[in-house]
Amino acid sequence: MKNKNWARFLLTIIVIFILIFTIIFVCKNIRKNGVHTVDGDDVIYNKLSEKNYEINEDTNEIIFSGDVKIGSFCISENPEAPTEEDKWIPTGGEKVIKLEDESGESITKQVYVYYNAGTVSTMTNFNASADMYIIRNESELKAFAGKVNSGTTFAGKTVYLVKNITLSGTSNNHTPIGTATCPFKGTFDGNGYAISNININNAWLDNAGLFGYIDKATIKNITVNGTGIYGRYYVGGIVGQSVNNGTVENCINNISISGANCVGGISRTFCRNFKKL
């Protein structure tokens, strides 16, 4: 009888240990396979997986074992670019990685992001064969406008804004990107950032906006701020004129828009005599 009681006691202890171990294992697994979000940017960070980091359960910290290289991107704790044969381009500024488990508990960590120059190009050191391009400052934004307006369509390419930009100057400080003869045909992803202090004041200018003329293009995730955009025909905060099913997604305009005809707050949406928004 005593032996049976001991056997039941030992079996109970074993079952309890198994349950505790299972709970711990499941919790760690949930934490490791959490949802990755970084400043609303899903281009890079959704490529992270549990292979790239560990979670210190004692300190509740995310730990990377060195730089994490995923395709064209490198995520690092180091503010200095990785020193290797590859040339890595900094995006500028810190990002915040947030891991969130199914219970809603989250952990954050500041990191730096770099792009591989072999596959990602800047506008100042332009690589025509790249598939992705980044814009980090005003001079690169102006260079982008210059490329498009001189005939580079960026069809099949994606251009990423990787930092907030405030334009210098107070009047006519932005040249709309794309014209009727040289439209933008690629994808522009603002990554949730903003371009501020935009001012266009030209009563004879058609196709006025951040982008002047797009053709089968996609413009998304960008906010524009400024003192005013004033043109003649086809005036909008994000896009002046869009043709052939061009799309504008998740964009915000905080600029007063006015023109003689065909005016819209985000993009040209209707045509009538003088309209101010």
What does the pLDDT look like over 86-117, one tens digit per residue? 566 666 556 666 666 556 666 777 777 777 76
* Over residues 116-123, mean pLDDT: 75
Predicted confidence at residue 252, as pLDDT, reads 92
The mean pLDDT value of the chain amounts to: 77
Q: Is the pLDDT of residue 204 over 80?
A: yes
Rounded Cα distance between 270 and 272, Å, is 7
Predicted confidence at residue 1, as pLDDT, reads 52
Predicted confidence at residue 119, as pLDDT, reads 72
Decide if 251 contacts 220 (C-beta within 8 A). yes
CB atoms within 10 A of CB 15: 10
Please spell the DSSP secondary structure of 157-214, one letter per residue: -EEEE-S-EE--SSSS----B--SSS-B-SEEE-TT-EEEEEEEE-TT-SSBSSEEEE
Predicted confidence at residue 6, as pLDDT, reads 66
Residue partners of 86: CB distance under 8 A and separation at least 6: 116, 117, 118
Predicted confidence at residue 143, as pLDDT, reads 96
DSSP state of 87: P
Predicted confidence at residue 34, as pLDDT, reads 43
Predicted confidence at residue 151, as pLDDT, reads 96
Q: What is the pLDDT of residues 9-53, one digit of tens each?
A: 677 777 676 666 655 554 444 344 444 444 444 445 545 555 566
Q: Is the pLDDT of residue 125 over 50?
A: yes
